[in-house]
Chains A and B, each alone.
Chain A
Amino acid sequence: MMIEIEVNGRKIKTQKGELILDTLKANGIHVPTLCNLEGFKPSGACRICVVEVEGRNDLVPSCSFFIEESMKIQTHSARVIQARKTILELLLSNHDDACLSCDRGRWCKLHELAFELNVTERKFGRTAGRKKIDNTSQAIIRDPSKCILCSRCVRVCEELQHVAALDFLKRGSRTEVGTVLDKGLNYSSCISCGQCIQVCPTGALKEKSHLDQVGALLQNKDKVPVAMIDPAVFATLGEFFGYKAGPEFSSILINALKRIGFQKVYGTGWGAEYQAGRLAGILIDKNPDENDTPLIFSECPSVVRYISQSRPALLSRLVPLKPANQIMAHLLRELTCNQTGKSKSDVSIVYLTSCTASKNETTAAMRIKGSGFLPDFSLTTREVYRLIRLYGIDVESLNPEFQEDFFGVGAKSGQLGAISGGNIEMLTRIIQARIPEANLSGEKAGKLRGIKDVKETTCEFNGKKLTLASISSITQFENYYKEIRSKHRKVDLLEVMACQHGCINGGGQPCRGAERNLRNRMKGVLEWDDRFSGIMTKDHLDLPSDLILNDEDCQAVFSPRQITK
């Protein structure tokens, strides 16, 4: 029902029962928020979004109050501004002052708000001491001293990812966000997806940095540093420099990395295509009625971790293929050894990725020498930006340069691996290339593209009909899995990605502006795909004779993981 309300003396038409904050936003009135998280239930924890409603004695939080008929709202009265200022001063009283050395830098929402509300001094003394930093995880570091208890990480972890590694502990002034038994993230159910970093308004959550190690590597003359770039980084990094996502910035990035000191720069797209080719082989040979449970295909380390600790029964249904980055790391190491004559231990593969969970794997590589399939280091998109800044590269002055030719075949469809549904699209193309008479329903209809939680398609060939689906975020996976089980629907292959809409929304991406830029990132990936026409041939997976990958090399082994659950 449309009703009329008054905001700051102006009449506004709105829907009864809408949240005040949504109405204000739709009418271009900016009210600051900290704990509010789009698409989630309001929590009303921080109260920075308070507004004055005529006839009420108290100020109301606009994020969790509904519009009522003939409401008169003041969003920026003196009383409201003073209240917001005091709230922020109170939040800052126990916040760590280490802004100069905080890696959140100018992306800190708290800092921005302090500027906005003209808070220029510390008004209230500190009542809590410094808290212990949780650095048990190899991917994510948590500094509770910087936490303002907004609950965004807690909500994302539970509602979006179904992981619930974090929650509020204790009570009152001693409340803090922590893990089970206070043992740290590594002992909790954390899957290192990094979505908590994405939503954190301060620097309380960050990735474990490999910048120092990579810096040392680049200075070491005996080593051959090789960069391997994930498509999601190609699609996003330009945001930092004001470039549009897509092929244009990608070639500038390659030039920048070479100037920094990487001897070779490759994309990982080829590996994604190669593994999709192997997956197609498995599907073509697959007997359609052998098992009710879908085969689960995931290149995502977070998904594998989730399944191995929370759903070990599904481990046997995971397609036992190594992820693309491991295949690429192995091949690039071999290839660089052949080209430069250096030994394997002198070649270091640096994986530039949007994934925080890949840090878990690279750290394993740092410990186990000679585990040839793992990259040596991994840098998130944010770290790559800092690396470019560190080496003083003026991106605008650089000419585009193309990535190293990989056996004469650049990645074509491989870029699609960065978006949810992309691997399935690659797969259907390969099936089409191998079996020209196959009947595919999805690709042309755009069923596998766009911002959707569930992407389904069918594929008919050799007298069998396969249903292929793609899911992103763990909660969606759980819901979808339950749904197909209860309805006895048959799904043959399920692609799962832990981050919503795929790696382009990964935990290592820029902390701000994901909502705004997601479509652009997706477009960037698809534009790249269009430019390289995306055609796959039957024999493009052939490797030169000195770089043979046999079945065993490509296989992955999964085992259950015990945690304090």
Chain B
Amino acid sequence: MSTEFVDLLKKFPAGRRENLIPILQEFQDLHGFIPEPAVAAIAEYLEIPAVKIYSVATFYNEFRFNAGGRYHFQVCQGIGCQVDSSERIRSELGRLLEIEPGEITGDGWFSLEWVPCLGVCQEAPVLSVNGELYAKMTPVRLKELVDKFRNR
């Protein structure tokens, strides 16, 4: 086990499975995703089967197992946004970036993900880029946003 993993895991008591989600969150904060070897390390430390950890991590959309792009787009698919036609935002974004959800552009700049409700339904439809919220999106504003990041 790498020392980096050990240092992170040491913050939590060993063998206590209730700490699984906080541990996964720490790994994700540190790397931007959960590295595959971390699954085995967590399993050993918490004394639970590795597949259980993968099961929990895939249950929540929050956790990811591959690195995102430089700009990680998360489009809300909550009910509020769907009523305010987030579907258009989703298809437009897919067209602009030429990738499917869960994929990353060839140059490594953009990645795309559908997420459940982001919690700002009054501003629907919303999306977040690297954790920063963009409210009341329209296809026009979306193109401006993508262009802004492209030219950075």
A-side contacts of B54, CB under 8 Å: 167, 169, 178, 180-182
**CA A166 to CA B51, docked complex, whole Å:** 7
CB within 8 Å of A: which B46-80 residues: 49-55, 58-60, 65
Is A171 within 8 A of B50, CB to CB?
Answer: no
| Contact (Cβ within 8 A) A180 B39 | yes
* Interface residue A124 (Cβ < 8 Å from any Cβ of B): no
The answer to whether the Cβ of B29 comes within 8 Å of any Cβ in the partner chain is no
Interface centre among B39, B40, B50, B51 (most CB of A within 10 A): B51
Residue in B closest to A169 when the chains form the complex, CB atoms: B58
Asked whether, in the complex, the Cβ of B58 is within 8 Å of the Cβ of A170, the reply is yes
Quote the shortest CB–CB distance from B110 to chain A (angstroms). 23
CB distance from B54 to the nearest CB of A (A): 5
A565 interfacial contact with B, CB 8 Å = yes
Near B by CB (< 8 A), chain A positions 42-56 give none
CB distance from B33 to the nearest CB of A (A): 13
Q: B129 within 8 Å of A by Cβ?
A: no
Known: A181-B36, A181-B39. A168 touches B50 (CB 8 A): no
Q: Does B43 contact A (CB under 8 A)?
A: yes
State how many angstroms separate the Cβ of B24 from the closest Cβ of chain A.
14
Most chain B CB inside 10 Å of its own CB: which residue of A164, A178, A182: A164
- A565-B43 CB under 8 A given contacts A167-B51, A167-B52, A180-B50: yes
Interface residues of A in 267-304 (CB under 8 A from B): none
Are A181 and B65 in contact, with the CB atoms below 8 A?
yes
| Across-interface contacts of A158 in B (CB, < 8 A) | 49
Tell me the minimal C-beta distance from A366 to chain B in angstroms: 29
Asked if A167 contacts B43 (CB within 8 A), the reply is: no
Interface residues on A, range: 10 to 19
Task: Tell me the minimal C-beta distance from B63 to chain A in angstroms.
Answer: 11
B51 lies within 8 A of A171 (CB): no
Complex interface: chain A residues within 8 A of B52 (CB): 164, 167
Q: Which residues of B contact A166 (CB under 8 A)?
A: 51
With both beta carbons as reference points, the residue of chain B lying nearest to A562 in the complex is identified as: B40
Does A164 lie within 8 Å of B65, measured CB to CB?
no
A418–B32 Cα gap in the complex (Å)? 52
A27 contacts chain B at the CB level, 8 A cutoff: no
In angstroms, Cα B55 to Cα A165, docked, is 11
B50 — which chain A residues lie within 8 A by C-beta? 180, 188-189, 564-565
A:181-215 near B, CB below 8 Å = 181-182, 188-189
Which B residues are CB-close (under 8 A) to A179?
51
Give residues of chain B (1-53) contacting chain A, Cβ–Cβ below 8 Å.
36, 39-40, 43-44, 49-53
Q: How far is the CA of A121 from the CA of B122 in the complex (A)?
A: 44
Please, which residue of chain A has its CB at the minimum distance from the CB of B48? A164
B40 contacts A564, CB within 8 Å?
A: yes
Residues of A within 8 A of B40 (CB): 564-565
In the bound complex, CA of A158 to CA of B49 (Å): 9
- Give A176's nearest chain B residue, CB to CB: B58
Contact with B along A322-343 (1 / 0, CB 8 A): 0000000000000000000000
The 5 closest A-B pairs by CB, nearest first: A164-B49, A167-B55, A180-B51, A167-B51, A180-B50
Residues of B participating in the A interface, judged by any CB pair closer than 8 Å: 36, 39-40, 43-44, 49-55, 58-60, 65
10 sample A-B contacts, Cβ–Cβ < 8 Å, listed by A number: A164-B51, A165-B51, A167-B51, A167-B52, A169-B55, A171-B58, A178-B51, A564-B40, A564-B50, A565-B40
